[in-house]
């Protein structure tokens, strides 16, 4: 009765358990690969930025998760964010705001595919760089070709393995935890065996540097970009809600467990990496094993221009661990293609996307999957990924497209619920009670700051074009384009979510 109560016919199979809903979010977050790909943000602030930047930002993201979990438990639907916006907003604003949130979330998730799969391509070429001792440098064409091949592979796997995707998510999570455990044990043990000095606890938890042109306090704030990007897929639990067996409980459990797991284990991993990184963070930033795009360039690089794994384990060990990280990054990309396709399908079900009538069809032959939106999201990711051929700054925008886009998509429904929807809100099994409104307000304050933070150039206040942060341009184009499209054309036909349930029929909620 979950989707029937809000006017939708059950079209997808409900076969995801609460653990598997958590698993798809945690798999997309891919803790160790994501930390590896975003250390570029936190290393300039030193160990304090790596460790406490992670801890403090994760705590605030958990508050956002609490606010979204309240909504997800109350009204679980694949279109969640834009659906909640339309449901809670005042009549005057509900259509344009819902349209904006839907496009911001859809493009943000496609941006997530771009950033994850481009990160995977970067890991692939970094393995070549380590194998050649830094003598081989890939071209942008090499990176883009690997990226395209990866996206196409994910589309093919999402199509062919749809019937067992929920089982695969469990294995993906186990692989993530296994690599985390191996890393936090192998790095310090190997360094002890090899008589390589390990940084003291005082250094790890109390030493701050500033390798940027910003003031030290702002350099620390920029270190938040690492957890902001990493812990940015918890809304995938919402998008999988129409495939969850018990969505009113599975969605909030998945959201909070995935954020909480990344918060705790990410703190542990960053502390171990800081302990094993040596004492020259400036040399970390100039490693010869650097990956071409700035955000992915830092994958486990350390003192004397060598990677942390290379420094601690030697060339063979570094290649082994980097290979494992690369495989997990591939799993991340597959999982986010699945989640993005569900949001795209839900948005097309409500007629908001071009070619919605074509996109919304479900393939019964392949296990009641929205295959057309699987491939639509892959094709759009390949097109948007062309930005990376321009320069590093354009490639960097792929990362912020996901982070800033999702911030807006999370913040607007929370705001609508607080400002206009208090009387309409009916708590689900998970509810934060009297603290609910305060949590929502705190989440809004954080999301506002976080979105602004994503727009800043990381190296300093006077960047040249090659290191400029074009996030404001890219995201502004998405948001402005969505609103322009709505007011010039879409307002004529977009009236919000469309009921698909036959009022004379009955719904089978157990497809």
pLDDT of residue 306: 39
Among candidate residues 349, 132, 340, the one with its CA nearest the CA of residue 236: 340
Among candidate residues 57, 127, 140, 37, the one with its CA nearest the CA of residue 399: 37
Strand partners, 301: 307
Are 82 and 101 a contacting pair, CB within 8 Å? Answer: yes
Neighbours of 500 (CB within 10 A): 15
Are 68 and 85 a contacting pair, CB within 8 Å? Answer: no
pLDDT of residue 509: 53
Among candidate residues 100, 104, 75, 102, the one with its CA nearest the CA of residue 88: 75
Is 398 exposed, middle or buried, given 0-12, 13-18 or 19+ CB atoms closer than 10 A? Answer: buried
pLDDT (tens place) for every residue of the chain, 511 residues total: 567 778 788 888 888 999 999 999 999 999 988 888 888 888 888 899 999 999 999 999 999 999 999 999 999 999 999 999 999 999 999 999 999 999 999 999 999 999 899 889 888 887 777 666 656 677 788 889 999 999 999 999 999 998 899 999 999 999 999 999 998 998 888 888 888 888 899 999 998 888 888 899 999 999 999 999 899 889 999 999 999 999 999 999 999 999 999 999 999 999 998 888 877 666 555 554 443 222 233 333 333 223 567 766 777 777 788 888 889 999 999 999 999 999 999 999 999 999 999 999 988 888 788 999 999 999 999 999 888 887 777 777 777 788 899 999 999 999 999 999 988 999 999 999 999 999 999 999 999 999 999 988 877 787 777 777 888 888 899 999 999 999 999 999 999 888 777 654 444 554 5
In angstroms, what CA-CA distances link 351 with 60, 355, 356, 360, 494?
34, 8, 5, 9, 7
pLDDT of residue 57: 97
Among candidate residues 452, 455, 392, the one with its CA nearest the CA of residue 118: 392
* Structural domains of the chain sorted by starting position, each given as residue range(s) with its CATH number in brackets: 14-492 (1.20.1740.10)
Strand partners, 244: 16
Cα angle vertex 491, ends 100, 397, to 5°?
Answer: 25
Query: Which ranges of 207-307 does DSSP label H, i.e. alpha helix?
Result: 216-222, 225-230, 236-239, 247-275, 281-284
pLDDT of residue 126: 76
Predicted TM-score of the model (pTM): 0.91
The full length of the chain comes to 511
């Amino acid at each position: 009765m979950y989707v029937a109560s809000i006017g939708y016919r059950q079209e997808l199979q409900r076969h995801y358990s609460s653990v598997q809903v958590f698993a798809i979010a945690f798999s997309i977050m891919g803790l160790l690969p994501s930390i590896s790909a975003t250390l570029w943000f936190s290393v300039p602030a030193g160990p304090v930025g790596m460790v406490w930047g992670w801890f403090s930002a994760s705590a605030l993201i958990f508050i956002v998760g609490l606010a979204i979990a309240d909504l997800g438990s109350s009204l679980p639907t694949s279109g969640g964010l834009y659906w909640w916006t339309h449901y809670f907003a005042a009549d005057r604003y509900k259509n344009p705001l819902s349209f904006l949130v839907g496009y911001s979330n859809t493009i943000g998730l496609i941006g997530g595919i771009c950033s994850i799969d481009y990160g995977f391509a970067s890991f692939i070429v970094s393995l070549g760089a380590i194998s050649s001792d830094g003598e081989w440098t890939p071209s942008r064409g090499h990176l883009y070709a690997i990226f395209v091949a990866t996206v196409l592979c994910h589309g093919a796997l999402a199509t062919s393995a749809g019937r067992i995707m929920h089982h695969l998510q469990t294995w993906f999570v186990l692989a993530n935890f296994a690599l985390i455990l191996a890393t936090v044990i192998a790095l310090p043990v190997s360094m002890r065996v090899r008589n390589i000095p390990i940084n003291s606890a005082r250094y790890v938890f109390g030493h701050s540097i500033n390798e940027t042109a910003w003031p030290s306090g702002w350099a620390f704030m920029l270190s938040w970009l690492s957890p902001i990007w990493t812990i940015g897929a918890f809304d995938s639990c919402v998008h999988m809600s129409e495939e969850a067996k018990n969505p009113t409980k599975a969605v909030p459990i998945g959201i909070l467990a995935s954020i909480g797991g990344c918060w705790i284990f990410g703190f542990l991993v960053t502390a171990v990496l800081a302990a094993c990184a040596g004492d020259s963070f400036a040399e970390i930033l100039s490693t010869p094993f650097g990956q071409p795009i700035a955000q992915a360039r830092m994958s486990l690089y350390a003192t004397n221009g060598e990677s942390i794994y290379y420094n601690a384990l030697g060339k063979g060990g570094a290649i082994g661990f980097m290979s494992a990280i690369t495989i997990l990054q591939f799993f991340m990309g597959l999982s986010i293609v699945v989640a993005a396709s569900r949001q795209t399908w839900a948005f097309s079900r409500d007629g908001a996307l071009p070619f919605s009538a074509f996109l919304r069809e479900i393939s019964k032959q392949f296990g009641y999957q929205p295959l057309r939106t699987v491939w639509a999201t892959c094709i759009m990711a390949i097109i948007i990924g062309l930005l990376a051929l321009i320069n590093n700054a354009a490639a960097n925008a792929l990362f912020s497209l996901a982070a800033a886009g999702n911030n807006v998509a999370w913040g607007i429904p929370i705001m609508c619920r607080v400002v206009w929807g208090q009387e309409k809100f009916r708590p689900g099994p998970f509810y934060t009670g009297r603290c609910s409104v305060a949590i929502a307000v705190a989440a809004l304050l954080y999301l506002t700051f976080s979105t602004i933070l994503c727009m800043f150039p990381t190296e300093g206040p006077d960047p040249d074009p090659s290191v400029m942060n074009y996030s404001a341009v890219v995201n502004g184009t998405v948001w402005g384009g969505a609103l322009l499209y709505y007011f010039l054309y879409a307002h004529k036909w977009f009236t919000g979510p469309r009921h698909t349930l036959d009022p004379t029929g009955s719904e089978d909620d157990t497809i």
